[in-house]
Structure formats: C-alpha cells, structure tokens
A = this chain, B = another copy of it.
C-alpha cells in the first residue's frame, strides 16, 4: 500500500492512504491520525490500512478525494530517529578520494552509518533554504526503509522482518563544511541540514519482484535543472542490504517504531550510469580532466529525483526541490 501525510497545519499532519496511481486519497482518522501513530501500532493498524487501500484502488470509497500533491508534506514530518548508511562503496570511494580521506579498513564488512537529523523533514517540493552558496550545496539521492520496533542486538533476519515501509529521499549536504566538521571526529552536524522525503511511503509489496534480498532493484533517476544526471541501479553494488543496515543500527540499542534507515547515496561502479550527487560527478571530472568543472548548486538550481518501475510507474512520487537563499 501507499501512505502519505496531508498538511493540516499541525506538526505531524494527517495520515492518508493513497491509491496505487498516486491520484486519489482518503483520510483514515478512525485507524490512525498520523503516520507515527500508525507505526506505533503497526501490527493492528497495517491490516486495516490495507483494507482501505484495496477499496480505494477499486474505486469503492465515497470519501476518497483527488490528491493535490501541493498539500502533501513529508510522510513523517518529524521522526524520532534517522540513521543514514553509506552502503554503496562506489560513492564512498569517490567522495573520500575527493576530500583526501582513506577508505576505512573495515569498509567491506562493517557498514558506515551516522546518526542524522530527524526533527524535521522537508516536503518533496519544498525549497532547500541555505544561508550561503559558499557552503557547497549538494543533493544526494537515496532510498530508505522505515521500521517498527527493532530489539537490541537483533539478527539480520529479525531486522529484516522489522522493515515495513520504503521511501526515497534527498539528503541535502553542505560539502564545503564537511572536511572541517569530520576532522573534529564527531561526525556530521552543520554539514547535513534537513533531508527531503518522497511524497509516499510504500510497503515492500508495492515493488513486486523489484524488492528482493532487502534491496530495491530499480534505477534511481536524477535530473539537475531538467538535465539527466544519473540512473544507477539501487540493487547493484549495494554492499550492505537494508536488513544488514538495520541490524547494524540496532547492535547496542533497540530502535523505536518509525526509525528511518537510509541507504546512502546510490552509486554504481559503472560510470555510464551517472551520479546521484554533485560531489561524485566532480570527482569523476577530476579523474577525467584533472579538475572539477560542475559547480555545486547555486540559488535557483533545482533537482528532481524519482524511481519508476518497468511499467513507468512512479512508485514513491517525485522529489523536486529548488535551492534558495535563507
């Protein structure tokens, strides 16, 4: 099924069930008022939501309405936890090369992951407000899963069973702040402002056979200012699948319902697939020509991110954001 959150001028918005085409929706206050409420009680709530979803797709709901995407905010407008992995080593290698950092010796067996900001997520079409272009504004196209409660020290199999929903996201990065911040040793803070989520969270079954081995086997498509930027396959070169990422996150502590676990920037070793962030494209330019010619994002630039399946169905809805001066 496909879920979203409608802007009702509250901090958490109102949960809606959206039809498969992404054109019609229905409010479900008798089941759950908000996405977080649904996740808090997923075992009871999910079957009820699924019944609504089936009726909605069959056109049998009188209270269904045409979905105005401008009224759709982030499916979880705020979450209790967002952990972002870095499961695509092609990305890790390229970006680390760009800032002169070595690959950690454990990179093939021990996932890179950081605690990311979750107290507010941008909507799919919300402007990215930044104080200065000098920060080196970049996008990162990623996929993520949303879990119910994960016990501490869960096995990979147990962790996989806690994955309930999937989305895509734009992990906005301020590249020029990263080297000094990471040199301090405590990870990202100012260099990683708020992230944008896709309009829809979907259950894994919505991906059909494209969801297997806890990976999304579809290309992540990105356009910068309307021009093709990349389409690496999310299922290729993903060193750690989502179940492994969730288990890593839960190693020494439980995860509470509604945890969002990101894949890291999608990247394939095949350079013909393009990139899903500017930092990588710039590194590839340096390798090819000795210097980066593509600038980071300027005020007014926009990025578009989506995943469509083999039938050209836009699964998660489109992230389309412009960078503007704060």
Contact = CB atoms under 8 A, between A and B. Distances in A.
Interface in A116-139: 116-120, 129-131, 135
A80 B83 contact: no
B256 A191 contact: no
Interface stretch (A181-189, A196-204, A266-274): A181-189
A279 to B, nearest CB: 15
A178 to B, nearest CB: 10
Interface of A: 11, 40, 78-81, 83, 86, 101, 104, 106, 110, 112-120, 129-131, 135, 152-153, 174, 177, 180, 182-191, 193-194, 248-249, 251-259, 326
Nearest to A184: B104
16 contacts: A11-B40, A79-B80, A80-B80, A80-B119, A81-B118, A104-B183, A112-B185, A114-B187, A115-B189, A119-B256, A129-B152, A135-B252, A174-B252, A182-B186, A186-B188, A194-B254
A243 B15 CA distance: 36
Nearest to A131: B153
Contacts of A257: 11
Query: Which residue among A113, A187, A258 has the maximum number of chain B CB atoms within 10 Å of its CB?
Result: A187
A132 to B, nearest CB: 10
A119 B81 contact: yes
Given A113-B186, A184-B106, A326-B153, A252 B177 contact: yes
Nearest to A81: B119
Contacts of A185: 101, 104, 112, 182, 187
